[in-house]
Amino acid sequence: MSWLFGGRRPQLPAATVRSMHTLIRPLFTTATYRGWAHALLGAALSAPPLTAAALSAPPRWPLTARIAGFTLALVVMVTALGTPRAARRGCVRLANGLLGTGLPHPAAESPRSRWANRLRTAAWLVPHMAVGVAVITVTGLLVFGAVALPAVWWGGGGEIAVFGGQVTVPAGGEGLWTPLGSVVCLLLAGYTTAVGTAALRLLAPVFLDHRPAERLAAAEERMNVLTERNRLAQELHDSIGHTLTASTIQAAVAGELLERDPAAARRALTSIEETSRAAMDDLDHVLGALRDEQAPKAPQRTLADLDALVESVRQAGAELRMERGGDLGRLPAAVSREAYRIAQEGLTNALRYGEKTGIRLRVEVRGGRLEVELVNLVRHGDDGPAARGAGRSGQGLNGIAERVRLLRGEVAAGPAHDMSHDGAADAAGWRLMARLPLGTGR
């Protein structure tokens, strides 16, 4: 006891400390209490089937009939509880939340797998209920013993009835073992819950995990979601990129005309406001979808909106010549939608990297295909943005190529030489050509 008077405090061996930590750990982990809550739900869920089964086996019946009636009623009730689709979702959610499993959310079911999964859910309820009843019964008795033993000893001793037997608790010094017995009861309760939780954690994937067909369906669903998100991200890139490019040029034009031609400057500012508002609508729609929220039902732009796109480019100060051919109003929806995005991205690149003069856009139906051709001409020897940007393959051209590929079309982009525009015989520039078959949709 010298450490009480300033001496060195004795240290327990590390192995002993680890053993004590392992021994008492089940009482202080949240996993134990979550597992006990899961067992409690299983025990509570067993009450209706057991009650119905007991009522289906009256004592006046012969023993064989009582066993048959009890078993049949129990099977019917458990099957009825497990067959609703909501039951499977609830079982998966409870297992993930309380048992710590990583079960996937139930996938879309085919008619062939629907009843198989429902029967598997009903089969899962059997060990859930059985283990739940066992864990709750045993832990209830152990906790009662942990409280009763020291309480009876503190009250002067006595007897406790356990399963028809008697446990004598002496008074005074002979009953000093009761606090230790109380701790042992609590430890046994914790270990019982931990064992029951571990058993259910092993059984849950057997009954609630996806089968191979469901795994394939879930993988396809995830792939479709990723494909849709990539498409939305590409549309957002096209829309916002065009708006920022056009707004920047229009703002510069408005600054130059503010004193010389206030009316033209006002028109440029109005155009900036309109295009920015449209871009904000697109942004709200796409971000809402990417956040898995209910996005506004914004109509997707098609070639019917091409005039507004051309006008916004012209208001940015560009000289744009537009050519149409064929019946553009009867195109497949997917072709019309993607053709608009191709034209939008092409015009954005023309404004960003080229001169604002000599832009020609041709949209024409020819030979069962829709052709979208964009040419941006510059003079030979020009070292401006178009000459520097002609060779770069950025996100915009990659997006155009991806759109055309999904529609099984053809796309070509590169320098265009020896072309003339407005009488200029010696000219060069950049040419984009996309051909989309009219018989392919998405």
| Mean pLDDT comparison of 264-268, 271-275, 393-397, 416-420, highest-scoring range | 264-268
As a whole number, mean pLDDT of residues 359-387 equals 73
4 domain-assigned: no
Cα-to-chain-centroid distance, residue 59: 54
pLDDT at 383: 44
Per-residue pLDDT reduced to its tens digit, 62-71: 989 989 999 9
Tell me: do 131 and 237 sit in the same domain.
no
419 — pLDDT class (breaks 50, 70, 90): very low
Last residue of a domain, one of 183, 210, 237: 210
Task: Provide mean pLDDT across the span 394-413.
Answer: 78
Q: What is the secondary structure of 24-67 as a DSSP string? A: HGGGS-HHHHHHHHHHHHHHHHHHHHHHHHHHTS-TTS-HHHHH
Residues contacting residue 33 through CB under 8 Å, at least 6 positions apart: 193
Q: Is 8 inside any structural domain?
A: no
**Rounded percentage of the chain residues whose pLDDT exceeds 70:** 71
* Residue 215, pLDDT above cutoff 80: no
Q: Is the pLDDT of residue 204 over 80?
A: yes
The answer on 200 and 269 residing in a single domain is: no
Whether residue 167 sits in one domain with residue 308: no
Domain boundary among 180, 210, 240: 210
pLDDT, tens digit (0-9, with 9 covering 90-100), for 95-104: 999 988 888 8
Q: Measured between alpha carbons, how far is 313 from 339 in angstroms, rounded to an integer?
A: 17
Query: Higher pLDDT residue, 310 or 253?
Result: 310
Order of strands across the sheet with 427-437? 320-325, 359-366, 369-379, 427-437, 410-417
Looking at the domain assignment, is residue 7 inside a domain? no
Shared domain for 358 and 338, answered yes or no, is yes
| pLDDT for 164 | 65
Give the pLDDT mean for 255-265. 75
On whether both 205 and 339 belong to a single domain, the answer is: no
Q: Average pLDDT in the 65-89 region?
A: 89
SS3 category, 440: coil
Residues 20 and 143 placed together within one structural domain of the fold: yes
Mean pLDDT (the chain) is 77
* Domain identity same for 273 and 184: no
Q: Which of 111-120, 154-163, 185-194, 210-219 has the lowest mean pLDDT?
A: 210-219
- Above 60 in pLDDT, residue 196? yes
When mean pLDDT is compared over 17-31, 179-193, 418-432, the highest value belongs to 179-193
Q: Determine if residue 284 is left, alpha or beta; phi over 0 gives left, psi from -120 to 50 gives alpha, anything else beta.
A: alpha
With bands split at pLDDT 50, 70 and 90, how would you rate the model's confidence at 138? Answer: very high
Please state the domain count of the chain.
Answer: 2
**The domain that contains 336 carries what CATH number?**
3.30.565.10
The answer as to whether 442 is a domain residue is: no
Task: Note the pLDDT of residue 299.
Answer: 55
Q: For the segment 275-330, what is each residue's pLDDT rounded down to a tens digit?
A: 666 666 666 556 665 655 444 445 578 888 888 888 888 877 788 889 988 888 88
Q: Are residues 288 and 423 in the same domain?
A: yes
Q: What is the pLDDT of residue 72?
A: 93
Looking at the predicted structure, is the pLDDT value of residue 157 above 70? yes
Q: What is the mean pLDDT of residues 213-241?
A: 68
pLDDT value at position 418?
46
**Are 201 and 244 found together in one domain?**
no
Any domain includes 366: yes
Mean pLDDT lowest for which of 219-223, 240-244, 363-367?
A: 240-244
What residue numbers bound the domain in which 147 lies? 14-210
The mean per-residue pLDDT over the stretch 244-258 comes to 72
Cα distance between residue 193 and residue 136, in whole Å: 8
CA 407 to each of CA 238, 331, 332, 333, 404: distance values in angstroms, whole numbers, following the listed order: 18, 13, 11, 12, 5
d(CA 27, CA 36): 11
Q: With respect to residue 84, please indicate whether it lies within any of the assigned structural domains.
A: yes
Q: Which two tokens stand for residue 207?
A: 């009954």
Q: Which of 346, 305, 303 is nearest to 327 (CA)?
A: 303
Whether residues 114 and 173 share a domain: the answer is yes
Are 154 and 277 within one domain?
no
| Residue 68 domain-assigned (yes or no) | yes
In a domain, 285, yes or no: yes
**C-alpha closest to that of 431 among 370, 377, 371:** 377
Which tens digit of pLDDT belongs to each residue from 15-54?
665 665 666 676 778 888 899 999 999 999 999 999 998 8
Q: Which residue, of 175, 210, 245, is where some domain finishes?
A: 210
In angstroms, rounded to a whole number, what is the distance separating the alpha carbons of residues 181 and 183?
5
pLDDT, one tens digit per residue, over 331-345 is 887 788 888 888 888
Can you tell me the mean pLDDT for 171-184? 84
**Among 40-54, 74-88, 127-141, 153-167, which stretch is predicted with the lowest mean pLDDT?**
153-167
Question: Are 428 and 372 contained in the same domain?
Answer: yes
Distance CA 135, CA 34 (A): 13
Beta bridge partners of 410: 435
Whole-structure pTM value? 0.50
Question: Tell me, what's the pLDDT at 279?
Answer: 66
Q: What is the tens place of the pLDDT at every residue in 375-394? A: 886 544 444 433 333 334 45
- 427 pLDDT higher than 50: no
